[in-house]
Amino acid sequence: MTEFTIRDLVEEFGLTLRTLRFWEERQILKPARRGAMRIYSDADRETVRRITAWSDAGLTLLEIREMLSMTAPARNAFLRRRLPEIQTAAEQSHARQAAALQSVLAGLAAEEEAA
Higher pLDDT, 50 or 89: 50
34 backbone dihedrals φ, ψ, rounded to 5° = -125, 95
The burial class, CB within 10 Å (0-12 / 13-18 / 19+), for 81 is exposed
Domain boundary assignment for the chain: 1-69, 72-115
pLDDT digits (tens, 9 = 90+) for 4-45: 999 999 999 999 999 999 999 999 999 999 998 999 999 999
- The pTM (predicted TM-score) of the whole model is 0.77
CATH of 1-69, one of 1.10.1660.10, 3.40.190.10, 1.10.3720.10, 1.20.210.10: 1.10.1660.10
